[in-house]
Amino acid sequence: MSAEDTVTFATWSLIMLWTAIAVYVLAFISYAVDLANRSQASAKAKDREAALVGATGSGSVAVAERPTESEVPQRFVMARIGTTLTWIAFLLHLGAVILRGIGAGRVPWSNMFEFAMTSTLLFTAVYLGALFWKDLRYIGAFMTGLVTVLLGAGAMPSIYVDITPLSDPLKSVWLVIHVFVASLATGFLALSFALSVAQLLQTRREHRIREDESRASKRSILRTLPSAENLEGLAYRFAIIGFIFWTFTLIAGAIWANDAWGRYWGFDTKEVWTFIIWVLYAGYIHARATRGWRGNRSAWLSIVGFVAVLFNFSIVNIFFQGLHAYSGLE
């Protein structure tokens, strides 16, 4: 492919990418409006409960009157609009990745910009795929917001890198396997993180209701979400899937390191942080399964694990030197 064709593909890839970012922003706004609508709906439901109490003369609110997970989201059009916009953004995002790959003549993940472009694509793919199994649109604002921030930061001029040939260590089939699986794992861990944050908020709300129901705000988005226990269970399931993929990432990285540098482990910064993340999530899964760590302690372990993932993806790539310094930045 000529240099002119390479530039053309790279240019159109960047145009599609920024268009995708714009649509992700619209999706985020739609999901945010949906959350506001949920708050209004919860207030109306609270008023209905109060009317029911007054009519029956009972001093307590029937738990059965609380909107269920399956009932509430179906009433909100903005959640469906947000999901449709997310699909459109995903297809534009996918097109940008494909064009970048065609222009480069290789898989597009050899530098920080390409890492951000591909990994956030898989973030969205995991979220949209999960919607076929479970209605998780209540965390749509978080997922689209996260993708927008990471993708927008990765596409900034200070991070963007023109198409360049692969360095020698990256010329391996393990580049495709290792980076793809690591990005896929991160997508599942991001879902677990979002659900864990929602769990903490829901736990606080449920605790206030148990202490004194009058302290609980009737305008609460959380009234339309699953219980803290159900959120915790979902977060745990996604964390297990992400942990399995992350384990494979660690193993594949060791095999690739042996092929490239003649050793499986060398205490390089990236290797160490990948292992630290594995230990954090192994501890989270083990503590919850065998030690009975439930509730807030479980949620905080999940959150700390994902913060370490983001640190590894951003700070380690940019500011730490080592054999894995593939950010493409000077």
Report pLDDT digits (tens) over 50-74: 455 555 555 444 444 444 444 444 4
- 83 in a structural domain: no
- 201 in a structural domain: yes
Cα separation, 64 vs 305, whole angstroms: 36
Question: Residue 289's CB: how many other CB atoms inside 10 A?
Answer: 11
What is the residue type of 5? Answer: D
- 120 in a structural domain: no
- 142 in a structural domain: no
CA-based angle 307:123:313, to the nearest 5?
A: 40
pLDDT < 50 stretches in the chain:
47, 50, 59-74
- 299 in a structural domain: yes
Note whether 246 and 306 are within 8 A (CB).
no
Closest alpha carbon to 172 in 216, 219, 110, 234: 110
- Residue at token pair 């360095």: 167
Please give the pLDDT value at position 184.
93
Cα separation, 306 vs 281, whole angstroms: 9
Helix or strand or coil: residue 182?
Answer: helix
Closest alpha carbon to 224 in 46, 26, 30, 27: 46
Query: How is residue 57 annotated by DSSP?
Result: T
CA-based angle 227:229:231, to the nearest 5?
A: 70
Please give the pLDDT value at position 56.
55
Report pLDDT digits (tens) over 226-263: 888 899 999 999 999 999 999 999 998 888 888 877 78
Please give the pLDDT value at position 215.
55
Q: Phi and psi dihedrals of 70, rounded to 5? A: -80, -25
Domain that holds residue 297: 167-323
- Global pTM reads 0.82
- 184 in a structural domain: yes
Query: How is residue 328 annotated by DSSP?
Result: -
Number of domains in the chain: 1
CA R_g for the chain = 22
Cα separation, 113 vs 136, whole angstroms: 29
- Residue at token pair 């009157």: 65
- 94 in a structural domain: no
Please give the pLDDT value at position 42.
55
- 107 in a structural domain: no
Q: Phi and psi dihedrals of 11, rounded to 5? A: -65, -50
